[in-house]
Structure formats: C-alpha cells, structure tokens
C-alpha cells in the first residue's frame, strides 16, 4: 500500500476532532463573559472578567457619540451587600471615583444611583458625576446583582482607571467596605475603544476575555494560513530538486499542520462571531470562509490525485496549483485584514512583514537556482544517454522544479 495514502485519513479526522473540541470547550465556559445572556435581551460586544471579587464588566462603545453602555455584574451578592463600579481619571484608588452604586434599600428594592467617592469612610452619598449618566438601573435576581447605565464620557476618559467594590449594608445604608484581600485589588485600567482591561498590578495579563480570544484567533490564523501554508508551497516547489521523494512528506507535513491549526483558528472565529452579534467584519469573515473551503479542497486533492502518467494529471496539476496559489495570496491578505482589526503594537505587523520578506527572498534565490540545476541535469542526461531527452523532460525535469505541487 502506498505510504502516502496512509496520510489521507488524518487530513480529515484530526481537524474534525479539533473543531468539535473547540466548540465543546467554548460551550463549557458557561460562566465566562461572552457566553452570558441577559434576561432583558441586552447584547454587549465587549466583556472583561474582572480579576477580583468575581465580577464582570460588559459594554458597548459608540465611537460617534462617545457614549458607553455598561453592565456591571457580580454573582454571589446577597441582599445585605452593596455593589459599585466606577471610573477614576485621577488614579487607581477608590477616592475620587465617579461611581454607580446598587443595594437593597429599606423598602426591599434593589436600586441603583450615582455617587462621587470623596473618602474611604464615605457611605456612598447620592450625587451627580463629573460626566453625564443616564438609564441607571439595577437588579438582584437570586444571588446575581447587575448594574446598567449609559455613560457620556469625554475623550480623555475613553481609556482610564476603573474601580469596583462590594461592601455590607446595615439599616438600609451602605457601610464602609473592607480594604484588604480582594477588596484591595479591585482596581485596574479599562480601554472602552480597544476592548482591553488590565489588572491593577499592571503588566499584560489583564486582557478581557473577548480580547484574549481575538488574539488567539489571530495567532492561530497567522501561523497557519499566513506562514505554514507558504512554507509548504516553497517546500513542494524547490526541495523536490534536492530530496525526492522526501519533499512530498515535508510538503504534506507543512500543509497538514497549516490546515489543522487553521481549523482551530476558524473555530475560534466562529465563536467570536456568535458571541458578538453586533460586530461584523465582512471582508475578513468572507475571506476566512473561502480559505477554509480552499484548504478542504486541497485536502481532497490528495484523494483525487492521478498517477503521473495519467492523461488527466495535467488538469489535476492546474486545479491543485491554482487553488494552492490562490490560498496563499488570500491568506496573506486576510492576515493583514486581521492585523487591521486587532490593531496590535507595530512590532507584530513588522514581524509578519519581515517573515514575508524572508520567504520572498528565499523564492528569489531558489527559483533561478532550481532552474539551473534542472537544466544542467537535463543536459547531462541527454549527453550520457542519447535519445533520452523525451524521457527526462517528461519525468525528471517535470518533477524536478517546473511546477509546485504533489
């Protein structure tokens, strides 16, 4: 049995397993940000699992108006506790925070109101904030408390400090909260525009749940479609001259790895789309669908590959090479589409451009070198074996570097 045929089942079974695992893992995260569904049917495009007090912040940012609709959510809240969330443009501390507070009042209603925190001993007196706030409401269902509000933020507060707290209620009045433990760590940074939220300790470990998924999606697809796929094509076109038939297994290993990782990236993209129904990147999504279809067609091409002497082999070559080159071009385009959406630090874009330049340089060097070796071998074969030109031009030369593929 041809050893190449033994690779075929893995081209389909492993990617399918990864896809099913990715979907099941996403569904299992029932307490995560983006899988949460509000009873009032509100939908938020962004969410951050806050690093203290078991809390979550959901929000929508309207660039045109500078308004932010938020939902601060804390499971595990009792009727004898108050919760609050707010912004402090002057520092990562409670004093100076423009807060929204919710608690169960003496009438038994869970109400929300605004409060400027003037000292650590304050009892969260009612009052207006330094920016406009509307649609303030609160709910306590079971043990889950939620604050809703719409904020009219100035430009310098789109990225600022956030503070959230939980404290006791006595006699229908919010009391001073503890300052140690998780209460002392409930502060950080928030960027409503980019969707990033960082913990108070600084560093890069405080990305929002959605932003982490976006980064994973970007890395998987950049590595698979944007790097491994072009490398696999280069292996097929140029290594064939130096290592036959080893080139075939190198080529299949690169393309198979690219397809497997690409399926995982495609699955995370589907999950991101389902979790963000109000956000759409049509061009990036459509190119991604085409790439997945092309990658699957290339996998099936192994099943359909005729023998080298088959009269249909030429048509198969055209099919395989056309789809392959189209996949590489679209992959590179979509990586840049994704970089534009993620808007990472410039070093990541420069790194990918550097990789493309390196691969391009390899092609520029290897293409003439390959042709030189092929033509030299052809001349030697012709001189040593008279009348063998036809044999070598149909066999060794064609397989030696005049096309890319398997």
Predicted confidence band of residue 222 (pLDDT cuts 50, 70, 90) = very high
**Using only C-alpha atoms, what is the Rg of the chain?**
29
Q: Which position has the higher pLDDT, 10 or 356?
A: 356
Question: 404 with 237: CB under 8 angstroms?
Answer: yes
Predicted confidence band of residue 403 (pLDDT cuts 50, 70, 90) = very low
Tell me the pLDDT tens digit for each residue of 362-372.
Answer: 999 988 888 88
Q: What is the pLDDT of residue 122?
A: 61
Predicted confidence band of residue 86 (pLDDT cuts 50, 70, 90) = very high
Tell me the pLDDT tens digit for each residue of 307-317.
Answer: 888 888 888 88
- Give the least confident one: 5-19, 133-147, 234-248: 5-19
The CA dihedral of 348, 349, 352, 354, to the nearest 10 degrees, is -100
Tell me the pLDDT tens digit for each residue of 15-69.
Answer: 444 444 444 433 333 345 667 888 888 888 888 888 888 899 999 999 888 899 9
Q: What is the pLDDT of residue 26?
A: 37
Tell me the pLDDT tens digit for each residue of 173-204.
Answer: 888 887 777 888 888 888 888 777 665 544 33
Q: Is the pLDDT score of 401 beyond 80?
A: no
**Structural domains in the chain plus CATH codes:** 3-23+210-400 (1.20.120), 46-206 (2.60.40.1210)
Tell me the pLDDT tens digit for each residue of 275-331.
Answer: 655 456 788 888 989 998 998 888 887 777 888 888 888 888 888 889 989 999 999
Question: 39 with 73: CB under 8 angstroms?
Answer: no
What gap in Å lies between CA 348 and CA 240, rounded to an integer? 32
Q: What is the DSSP string of 144-173?
A: EEEEEEEEE--GGGSEEEEEEEEEEEETTE
- Give the least confident one: 16-20, 155-159, 241-245: 16-20
What gap in Å lies between CA 389 and CA 381, rounded to an integer? 7
The pTM for the full model equals 0.50
Q: What is the pLDDT of residue 30?
A: 33
Question: 342 with 222: CB under 8 angstroms?
Answer: no
Predicted confidence band of residue 266 (pLDDT cuts 50, 70, 90) = confident
Average pLDDT in the chain: 79
DSSP 8-class letter at 177: P
Q: Is the pLDDT score of 6 beyond 60?
A: no
Q: What is the pLDDT of residue 209?
A: 60
Q: What is the pLDDT of residue 207?
A: 53
Q: Which position has the higher pLDDT, 386 or 339?
A: 339
**Helix, strand or coil, per DSSP, at residue 115:** strand
Residues 6+ apart with CB under 8 A from 115: 84, 99, 100, 101, 122, 124, 125, 126, 127
The alpha-helical segments, DSSP class H, found in 37-153 are none
- Say how many C-beta atoms besides its own lie within 10 A of residue 208's C-beta: 26
**Helix, strand or coil, per DSSP, at residue 192:** coil
Q: What is the pLDDT of residue 169?
A: 87
What gap in Å lies between CA 160 and CA 262, rounded to an integer? 36
* CA 374 to each of CA 251, 392, 399: distance values in angstroms, whole numbers, following the listed order: 20, 10, 10
Q: What is the pLDDT of residue 112?
A: 93
Question: 289 with 269: CB under 8 angstroms?
Answer: no
- Give the least confident one: 192-201, 349-358, 380-389: 380-389
Residues 6+ apart with CB under 8 A from 192: 46, 59, 61, 68, 153, 158, 159
What gap in Å lies between CA 267 and CA 340, rounded to an integer? 20
Q: What is the pLDDT of residue 319?
A: 87
Q: Is the pLDDT score of 391 beyond 50?
A: no
- Residue percentage of the chain with pLDDT more than 90: 23
Q: Is the pLDDT score of 127 beyond 90?
A: no
Nearest to 199 by CA among 176, 179, 182, 178: 182
Question: 176 with 185: CB under 8 angstroms?
Answer: no
């Amino acid at each position: 049995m041809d050893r190449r045929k033994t690779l075929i089942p893995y081209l389909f079974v492993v990617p399918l397993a990864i896809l099913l695992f990715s979907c099941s893992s996403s569904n299992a995260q029932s307490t995560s940000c983006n899988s949460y569904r509000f009873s009032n049917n509100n939908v938020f495009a962004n969410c951050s699992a806050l690093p203290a007090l078991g809390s979550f912040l959901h929000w929508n940012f309207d660039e045109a108006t500078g308004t932010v609709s938020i939902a601060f959510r804390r499971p595990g809240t009792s009727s004898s506790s108050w919760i609050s969330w707010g912004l402090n443009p002057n520092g990562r501390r409670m004093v100076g925070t423009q807060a929204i507070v919710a608690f169960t009042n003496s009438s038994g209603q869970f109400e929300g109101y605004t409060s400027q925190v003037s000292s650590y001993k304050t009892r969260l007196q009612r009052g207006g904030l330094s920016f406009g706030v509307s649609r303030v409401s609160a709910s306590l269902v079971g043990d889950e408390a939620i604050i809703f509000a719409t904020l009219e933020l100035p430009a310098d507060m789109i990225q600022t400090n956030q503070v959230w707290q939980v404290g006791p209620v006595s006699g229908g009045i919010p009391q001073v909260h503890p300052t140690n433990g998780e209460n002392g760590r409930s502060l950080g940074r928030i960027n409503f525009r980019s969707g990033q939220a960082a913990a108070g300790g600084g560093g890069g470990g405080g990305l929002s749940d959605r932003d982490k998924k976006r980064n994973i999606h970007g890395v998987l697809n950049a590595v698979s479609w944007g790097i491994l796929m072009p490398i696999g094509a280069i292996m097929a076109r140029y290594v064939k001259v130096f290592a036959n038939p080893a080139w075939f297994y190198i080529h299949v290993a690169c393309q198979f790895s690219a397809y497997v990782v690409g399926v995982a990236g495609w699955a995370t993209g589907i999950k991101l789309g389902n979790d963000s129904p109000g956000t759409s990147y049509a061009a990036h999504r459509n190119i991604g669908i085409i790439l997945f279809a092309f990658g699957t067609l290339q996998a099936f091409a192994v099943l359909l590959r005729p023998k080298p002497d088959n009269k249909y082999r030429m048509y198969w070559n055209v099919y395989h090479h056309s789809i392959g080159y189209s996949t590489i071009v679209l992959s590179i385009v979509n990586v840049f589409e994704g970089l534009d959406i993620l808007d990472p630090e410039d070093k990541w874009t420069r790194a990918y451009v550097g990789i493309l330049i390196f691969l391009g340089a390899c092609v520029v060097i290897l293409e003439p070198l390959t042709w030189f070796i092929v033509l030299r071998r052809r001349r030697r074969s012709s001189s040593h074996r008279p009348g063998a030109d036809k044999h070598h031009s149909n066999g060794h030369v064609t397989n030696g570097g005049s096309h890319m593929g398997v």
